[in-house]
Chain A
Amino acid sequence: MRRLLILLPPLAWLLLLVAAPLLILGLIAFAEAGPGVPPFIPPVAWAGGPAWQGSLESLGTLIADPYYLEAFLRSLLTAFVTAALCLLLAYPMALGIAGARPSWRLPLLLLVLLPFWTGFLPRLGAWIGLLRDGGWVNGVLCLAGIGPLRLLYSDLALYLGMVHAYLPFAVLPLATALLRRDTSLEEAAADLGAKPLTVFGSVTLPLSLPAAASAFLLVFIPAAGEFVIPELLGPPEAQLVGRVLWGEFFQNRDWPLAAALALALLLLLLPPILLFQRLGRRA
């Protein structure tokens, strides 16, 4: 009885805020778009009993039109590159924090988190100001006789923004794992004749792989559905799932197609999540 009481809040949370929305999303995905508020005809009607009046049209569109497939592939690629860049930058940062004097560690971690304390949109606005044709970066480049270059609305700007926004998510799990590591293992390796780089490659790095996998995932998953950064900084041709979804929902008011897109993204993200979890467990 007491166990049930303890489990009730998380269970209610999961039912109300995860399972129920997913169910509604699934129903909308099988509905037919139509005029009205909300702009679709419910797939199941009540006429003396439940009667099916949904359609598979949205799912069909998703598969038939290469536009959507391309958006998915682009999103996965963008998320992968973002996560890889974050991991490459975060690992040395985390190693530095873990190796710092104890009194320095907390301030350094807080510095990593500091961007979270200011608004997300103003920070992106700052990037726009830096990168636009008449911006600061191009101003300096012009003084040096180069440019102006087209920096804003490019892949460079997109990845600058993505890495900037997601880096803390990669630093935190890595720093935690590296702080908790048993340094006597590294001492043992050195004592057995391993030079510092060999110690890192044969002991520190392999033992931190599970943390690296979770850092990668923590960036990859939200990055795959990112909408704001590609919209504000990315090139116009970068039609990522987040942007396409937004367009279908708010501009075309095609809720069933938007719902089908959201479900497909969820399904696409499952395999990498399971793969990384298994990698993490094995390492």
Chain B
Amino acid sequence: MNLALLAVRGLTKRFGAALALDGLDLEVRPGEFLALLGGSGSGKSTLLRLVAGFEVPDAGRMLLEGRDLAGLPPHARPVGMMFQSYALFPHLTVFDNVAYGLRREGTARAEIGRRVGEALAMVGLEAMAGRKPQQLSGGQRQRVALVRSLVKRPRLLLLDEPLAALDAGLRERTGLELRALQRRTGAGFVMVTHDQAEALALADRIAVLEAGRLAQCGPPAELYERPATRFVARFLGAANVLEGKVRADGAVEAGACRLALPHGAAPGETLAVALRPERIRLLPGAPPVANGVGGVLRDIAYRGDGWMALVALPDGAELRVALPVGAAPPDPGSHLALGWPAEALVALHA
């Protein structure tokens, strides 16, 4: 494998008694778009601040293209950062905001004018060069912040929730623009987000953080279809997690459900299995003995592109079932027969 753009080894950071990062290992490849996904307090923003140099790690190393970042102050790190608040300088014009980094490098005046002009043209803001940040809309400010962090052509750009402050309607389009810009510049992007849809849509790879540790890292489809842990399964797509003992015939007896896995399992062990709500089907008649179950519809909610049904199983557990639109939804209290294909079942490691 080629040299990692950023390699993080055993990175640990404590804030008082709280452990924000707990021996994190992670690699960012050159030119890739990596999403750091996790809930609040998972340590994803701390990781960005450590790489940018705003915080000092308690243990572990960070290597940028093989060079140790320890001891380098923020201004000496060839890393760009885009802040969640955008952190645009309110007393400077859009032009001066974008030119700020180039001026610190001592770039020639004409060159600054050319590069800032190019950068603003890239996001369609040439006409706004003379305005102050507070005279721009939220979406325009977001783009100024983005090109300001890109104009110095950093090899690695850190983005802290870059889309979080935008309206839902603007978020999707801006996200796609963000990825197009990443492809054009060839810089490695590390984007912190708590929005799984955003991570799935934009990233080449997703790293899911849980309590300061890496839960799983891989391409979006792999993480979605083959989650490694309960946390990843629940965090990405809110999967049902069923747990039970493996019987002599290799099927898992998880309460009222009998799960026949495609590859079987070692008899005797306890296994957790993920089952996505959209893989469960409503069946006519009685449910099959394996990979099916009967239950009572407890609640149902309309979600625009379908229905989300909460089905109570005889053992007291609940299954989330995604029903397509079209068919009339069943009434709460009615008995349902559910079934799913064996390939929909994913054995979890933790």
Q: B-contacting residues of A (Cβ < 8 Å)?
A: 182, 184-185, 187-196, 198, 202-203, 206-207, 283
The listed residue (A185, A194, A202) touching B75 by CB distance below 8 A is A194
Residue of B nearest to A189 (CB): B100
Residue of A nearest to B81 (CB): A191
Residue of B nearest to A283 (CB): B91
Query: Given A193-B75, A194-B75, A187–B100 Cβ distance below 8 Å?
Result: no
Q: What is the minimal beta-carbon distance from B143 to any residue of chain A, in angstroms?
A: 15
Query: Given A184-B83, A198-B104, A191–B74 Cβ distance below 8 Å?
Result: yes
Query: Given A191-B74, A192-B148, A283-B91, A182–B85 Cβ distance below 8 Å?
Result: yes
Residues in A neighbouring B88, C-beta threshold 8 A: 188
Q: What is the minimal beta-carbon distance from B155 to any residue of chain A, in angstroms?
A: 14
Residues facing A in B54-105 (CB within 8 A) are 54, 73-75, 77, 79-81, 83, 85, 87-91, 100-101, 104-105
The listed residue (A182, A185, A187) touching B74 by CB distance below 8 A is A187
Residue of B nearest to A192 (CB): B101
Complex Cα gap A69–B86 (Å)? 53
Complex Cα gap A190–B101 (Å)? 9
B74 touches A190 (CB 8 A): yes
Query: Given A192-B148, A193-B152, A194-B104, A187–B91 Cβ distance below 8 Å?
Result: no
The listed residue (A190, A193, A198, A206) touching B91 by CB distance below 8 A is A206
Q: What is the minimal beta-carbon distance from B56 to any residue of chain A, in angstroms?
A: 14
Complex Cα gap A192–B52 (Å)? 10
Residues in A neighbouring B152, C-beta threshold 8 A: 192-193
Complex Cα gap A184–B160 (Å)? 12
Residues in B neighbouring A188, C-beta threshold 8 A: 81, 83, 87-89
Q: Is the interface of B mostly helix, strand, loop or mixed?
A: loop
Residues in A neighbouring B79, C-beta threshold 8 A: 191
Query: Given A185-B87, A185-B89, A203-B89, A190–B73 Cβ distance below 8 Å?
Result: yes
A184 touches B101 (CB 8 A): no
Residues in B neighbouring A182, C-beta threshold 8 A: 85, 87
B91 touches A191 (CB 8 A): no
Residue of B nearest to A186 (CB): B87
Q: Is the interface of A mostly helix, strand, loop or mixed?
A: helix
Q: What is the minimal beta-carbon distance from A154 to any residue of chain B, in angstroms?
A: 41
Complex Cα gap A196–B75 (Å)? 8
CB pairs A–B below 8 angstroms (23 shown): A182-B87, A184-B83, A184-B85, A185-B87, A187-B52, A187-B54, A187-B74, A187-B83, A187-B87, A188-B81, A188-B83, A190-B53, A191-B52, A191-B77, A191-B79, A191-B80, A192-B75, A192-B101, A193-B101, A193-B104, A198-B104, A203-B89, A207-B91
Most buried by A among B73, B74, B79, B89: B74
Complex Cα gap A206–B80 (Å)? 24
Q: What is the minimal beta-carbon distance from A208 to any residue of chain B, in angstroms?
A: 11
Q: What is the minimal beta-carbon distance from A199 to any residue of chain B, in angstroms?
A: 8
Residue of A nearest to B99 (CB): A192
Complex Cα gap A184–B89 (Å)? 10
Complex Cα gap A125–B100 (Å)? 53
Most buried by B among A185, A191, A193: A191
Residues in A neighbouring B87, C-beta threshold 8 A: 182, 184-185, 187-188
Residue of B nearest to A282 (CB): B91
Residues in A neighbouring B104, C-beta threshold 8 A: 192-194, 198
Q: What is the minimal beta-carbon distance from B150 to any residue of chain A, in angstroms?
A: 11
Query: Given A185-B89, A203-B89, A193–B83 Cβ distance below 8 Å?
Result: no
Residues in A neighbouring B54, C-beta threshold 8 A: 187, 190
Residues in B neighbouring A185, C-beta threshold 8 A: 87, 89-90
Complex Cα gap A169–B170 (Å)? 47
Residue of B nearest to A187 (CB): B54
